[in-house]
Amino acid sequence: MSTRLMNTPNNYPYTHGWGVYPQLPTELGKRRRSAKNLLGFIDATPGVKPSDWRFATGILELAFRSVAGESSRDWFTLANRLGQPSRSLAHEIHKHLQQLKDLDPRSKEAGHVLGLLDDLALPDMLQYFRESTSEENPRPTDIREGWCHVLWSHETPDRVLVGAVHGTPLEVISVLDHQTPETCHGVLAAWHVEDPDWAASQIVRTFGKPLDQVGLMQLSTSKGIPGIKMLTENAIWKTIVKSPWHAEVTELCHDDPADDDPYFASGAAI
């Protein structure tokens, strides 16, 4: 899973997202329809309308942009339903979709870009999304155990909760919300690790503080976020589980244009 320096939460979840909200029905419907149509273009399915090309590619471009930048309130839910692509992989797909929407679907250029997207496992992700959001028989999302978390709440926007546990971010947030019903918690960053116990020991070693009974410690954003970045790039990096999709994509760098785009200015990676 890709990582980068996280921006400090600003206590405006509806603007920059908490990463734990379900997708709005209107957004889900547009994304499902767009996934079906783009798969139809890729497979040359009879009956797919050329007029649906720009709408489908535009909707999916925004969806992958949201996952890459973790910049919408439902980015975590959306990422799970796409099969948990890394930030760097989602960013690469977003760039190709941005180019694709301005091309004629019957052109050689569009065929070339679709070939690149096939190499990046986009058809697999779109099919996974359709199956995981099916109303009749939804496929359960593959959220594996063993995660590092960086969580935050609207009550203490200047502090973050950091830890590594045998449990998903949604399970940890559920426990926290149950303990303090008056406070809402959200995902600032989350990534899979093969050995959460070892990752937790590295967090304790780095910050010199014990973990609470949930497996978290509270840190100031000014001191904690640089330390978390160091951990993910060095010690914990050895155990981070990469995206299940087969594409190998260069990690986002700090001078990437996305870092200057406000749409991308919310968090680390999943």
Same domain, 162 and 211: yes
Split at pLDDT 50, 70, 90, the class of 266 is very low
pTM of the model: 0.76
Give the end of a domain, one of 82, 107, 132. Answer: 132
**68 falls within a domain:** yes
pLDDT in tens, 98-138: 999 999 998 999 999 999 999 999 999 999 999 999 988 88
Same domain, 152 and 219: yes
3-state secondary structure 197-237: HHHHHHHHHHHCCCCCCCCEEEEEHHHHHHHHHHHHHCCHH
Which residue range is the domain that position 206 belongs to? 145-240
Question: What rounded mean pLDDT belongs to the chain?
Answer: 82
Same domain, 19 and 120: yes
Same domain, 104 and 194: no
Number of other CB atoms surrounding residue 229 within 10 Å = 16
Give 137 or 233, the one with higher predicted confidence: 137
**155 falls within a domain:** yes
> DSSP secondary-structure letter at 73?
T
Q: Is 46 left (phi over 0), alpha (psi -120 to 50) or beta?
A: beta
**161 falls within a domain:** yes
**137 falls within a domain:** no
Same domain, 21 and 125: yes
Percentage of the chain exceeding pLDDT 90: 41
Amino acid at 18: W
Q: Would you state the structure tokens that stand for residue 226, as one six-digit string? A: 């640089």
Same domain, 65 and 160: no
Say if residue 268's pLDDT is above 60. no
pLDDT in tens, 15-58: 666 777 888 899 999 999 999 999 999 988 888 898 999 999 99
**23 falls within a domain:** yes
Same domain, 121 and 149: no
- Which strands, in side-by-side order, build the sheet including 185-192? 185-192, 147-153, 159-165, 216-220
**196 falls within a domain:** yes
Amino acid at 64: F
Say if residue 182's pLDDT is above 80. yes
Say if residue 168's pLDDT is above 50. yes
pLDDT at 256: 42
Same domain, 149 and 191: yes
Domain count, the chain: 2
Say if residue 253's pLDDT is above 60. no
Mean pLDDT of 220-233: 83
Same domain, 30 and 126: yes
pLDDT at 54: 95
Distances (CA, A) of 247 to 26, 132, 234: 30, 21, 22
Give the end of a domain, one of 132, 156, 174. Answer: 132
CA atoms within 13 A on the CB side of 1: 23
Same domain, 200 and 227: yes
Q: Angle 53-69/25-43 helices, nearest 10 degrees? A: 120
Amino acid at 14: Y
**DSSP H or E stretch at residue 151:** strand 147-153
Split at pLDDT 50, 70, 90, the class of 3 is very low
Phi, psi of 190 (to 5 degrees): -160, 140
Say if residue 236's pLDDT is above 80. no
Lowest mean pLDDT among 76-85, 160-169, 260-269: 260-269
User: Do 68 and 267 touch, CB atoms closer than 8 A?
Assistant: no
Same domain, 31 and 109: yes
Percentage of the chain exceeding pLDDT 70: 83
**138 falls within a domain:** no
Mean pLDDT of 225-241: 79
Same domain, 59 and 161: no
